[in-house]
Amino acid sequence: MLSGKAICAITERTTLRPENDLLPLIFLASAVVAVPQSDPKTWITADDYPETLLTSDKEGALAVALEIDEKGQPFACKVVETSGEADLDATTCSLLTKRARFSPARDKAGRPIKSTYTQSVSWKIPREKLITQGFKVTFAVEKTGELTNCQLDNYGFNDDSIRCDPEMIDTIAAKMLPNPLVSYRSLSLLLAVEVDQAQISIPRRSDDERVIISRALFDVSPNGVIASCKSDIALSWMGKPVDLCHGPIEVGSKDFDPAPDGRRRQATVTFELAGTKR
């Protein structure tokens, strides 16, 4: 599980674009460039990193050219140096067009003119957002009760043993859920590791019938070591309680990166089964 300090570095420069490109250079020397009305470093922050890319390990730097009108507002954005990731390029242009505001460039007579403002942005993954992790296995339930169309969603959970196993979920559902299998149109088995103050969460449907099979509360020390774990809910399965404090959570294991702010973290791991009614 990853954490760390997010970085979104911004640099900028402005160039005039007079309507008449044949104007003498002395005109340019006496003109006033567009000036940002607020700190450009606040226009894009680490919180703007696209959540769809959080587990993809995509980072990169790019440069864009904003076309500024006579009112100081961007009306166009062009990527002049790509980050190599289309979503990051598109997000940068979208945010800057919405948020960047300027006092417009002016000619030597003081009249507002159009200009081009070039800005560089460096995107780094905000690692602290990855501390909420888990996986979700979802099956469609046919009217016959057969489980089909398995979908596996992995939220940064590093375990190669996760797989679609309809027989296992069928057996668990028959024992745990309050209604027969055919009364549901889909079933989901979810493991969610959620740390306090995490900025993303594992998605859940509010209308599901949900049974928590097991839940445990644990502490993570500032250096990333699991310091303690206490089972909160542990239903019986195959004659034994399902205790998450003995897998995937192990006291003494260093499963987290050190906290960037040096604090202890409280966390919950939940193993649950959910059914969406027909």
Q: Domain-by-domain residue ranges, the chain?
A: 8-127, 132-277
pLDDT of residue 219: 92
Quote the pTM value. Answer: 0.53
- Residues pairing with 113 in the sheet: 105
Q: Is 255 left (phi over 0), alpha (psi -120 to 50) or beta?
A: alpha
Please tell me the CATH code under which domain 8-127 is placed. 3.30.1150
CB atoms within 10 A of CB 43: 21
pLDDT at 91: 93
From CA 144, how far away is CA 139, in angstroms rounded? 14
**pLDDT score for 256:** 78
Strands (DSSP E) found in the chain = 8-16, 35-36, 60-68, 74-81, 102-103, 105-106, 112-113, 115-123, 133-141, 147-155, 184-195, 209-220, 226-234, 236-237, 240-241, 265-277
Give the pLDDT score at 29. 45
Q: What is the C-alpha to C-alpha distance for residues 108 and 32, in angstroms, rounded to an integer? A: 7
Q: What residues in the chain have per-residue pLDDT under 70?
A: 1-31, 54-57, 126-132, 158-161, 197-204, 206
Amino acid code (one letter) for 90 = A
